[in-house]
Structure 1
């Protein structure tokens, strides 16, 4: 099937859609990029959608494996976010990875596609991931400069303060919940100057916990999510090692039943 317009999404788990679980979708996830594509297609059926993002990918892998593949699809619109998995590593050269990222963004822009990039999330309130806040702030400034230099659109994820609410996050505290993905989709469409029919769900009241209950809750999270996450990194393996892209070529997708 051919399409007059093609949206191609690149990146890691953030763009693949982890946290927005949907067993009816490839890789079992939906995500903000699917939701953006659904709205584009609902407004104009000439759009096709490809998503090359795979969870666990570091920036150099996204650039090496996805950029040329995206350009080969002759995209009208490309969204890309990469570097989050690098920032969480024990050591990272932010200047070096964003230099490489800059070249990738330039290549995508030179293809004639409209390109949209993201800053990183402000994790300052996280007792675990907050330690990377300074790295992310530096990464963000360099990404903003790259976007300005190449004429890319920017979603300033750092400034989406609504996402400081834990209800926008999955139980693993690393990936957004469905509500977080929906909020991000609406922001992307706003930056693209597109309308949407996404209705954010009414969030349940956050659970009231005593200090002891919070400690037990945090300990359970560390056992079930933080420990395995650290273990994978120590072993040099990724949750995405056996996965392929959700939509390697453009397709039509529609909203899931009921939402």
Structure 2
């Protein structure tokens, strides 16, 4: 029998609202790191790793989630030789189910289904990161409250498995071409993310607060996906968000040298519109996705790092 006085970070019921009140019970954000033996990443192109082409060992890209998995694997290896609990001795394993272009319905649906199955078969503590909704928010008629309700349901399901969950906010799109117009919707969605995380005791990586991402040198030529340096810094920020206070925040918060910042030319703007913006808009109009026919790059729990 569970002692009702013992704190728990697990959801008490599948519906987070207090019956009859319409009010969600207040919990808290998770901030204490654990010795995770498993990490599962679900999401869209950001978590798939576009456009990080450094140190690729699975799929077309590496990315922040792969980089975070490597850091967590090193922590787990250190803990395995440490007498402090909860070291498990199990090898570190990683799965990445994210697919570029996916909407939240897929992340909170099939990807969450697959993640819960992987959690059930895992040995040792599991961390799941969930990123989704960014592609939905780009649509002018996006219902932010409905997206938040769907995200909340997915997080509740993941927490019910006993897994810890890392939620990730969108970045601040201020000044960005095309997507800058979504800033109000992004802010509303982030407020929901923090509320959901607080209800379920999740960790949160707040990308809105990562000011280095306002430097266009952190972004690939398509101006939607990050460079290897952007992914590297986000992985370090995620590691810190998971409670690793020893992480050197200067390593990811330190701005690049402004003297080296290039100024885009009109020719570069025209090339971007032709090469990236035009095809992107066409896919939205025709309801096609860059991820059509694709699956996650690591659909099973895989020993990590590979090779």
- Structure 2 counterpart of 1:59: 104
Distance in 2 (alpha carbons) for counterparts of 1:167 and 1:252: 33
Equivalent of residue 87 in structure 1, options 130, 133, 137: 137
Higher helix share: 1
Equivalent of residue 261 in structure 2, options 206, 220, 228: 206
Q: Does 1:105 align with 2:155?
A: yes
The 3-state SS of whatever aligns with 1:29 is coil
Q: CA deviation at 1:248?
A: 0.5
Distance in 1 (alpha carbons) for counterparts of 2:210 and 2:189: 16
User: How big is each residue's C-alpha offset from its partner over 1:114-150, in whole Å with a ceiling of 9 and x where there is no partner?
Assistant: 1010111110111321100000000011111111111
- Structure 2 counterpart of 1:127: 177
Distance in 2 (alpha carbons) for counterparts of 1:127 and 1:55: 20
Distance in 1 (alpha carbons) for counterparts of 2:56 and 2:165: 29
TM-score scaled by structure 2?
Answer: 0.76
- Structure 2 counterpart of 1:20: 52
- Number of positions where the alignment pairs a residue of Structure 1 with one of Structure 2: 249
Distance in 2 (alpha carbons) for counterparts of 1:254 and 1:33: 12
> Max radius of gyration: which structure?
2
TM-score scaled by structure 1?
Answer: 0.89
- Structure 2 counterpart of 1:249: 300
Q: CA deviation at 1:217?
A: 1.3
Unmatched segments (≥5 aa) in structure 1: none
Judged with a 3 Å threshold, the aligned counterparts in structure 2 of structure 1 residues 26 and 83 are, in CA distance, closer, same or farther, namely: same
Q: Does 1:156 align with 2:209?
A: no
Judged with a 3 Å threshold, the aligned counterparts in structure 2 of structure 1 residues 23 and 179 are, in CA distance, closer, same or farther, namely: closer
Distance in 2 (alpha carbons) for counterparts of 1:149 and 1:43: 28
Distance in 1 (alpha carbons) for counterparts of 2:276 and 2:214: 20
Aligned pairs for 1:58-77 (under 5 A) are 58-74=103-119, 76-77=126-127
- Structure 1 counterpart of 2:277: 226
Give the alignment's Cα RMSD to 1 decimal.
Answer: 2.3
Unmatched segments (≥5 aa) in structure 2: 1-35, 78-90
The 3-state SS of whatever aligns with 1:102 is helix
Distance in 1 (alpha carbons) for counterparts of 2:60 and 2:142: 31
Q: CA deviation at 1:208?
A: 4.2
Distance in 2 (alpha carbons) for counterparts of 1:116 and 1:23: 24
- Structure 1 counterpart of 2:75: 43
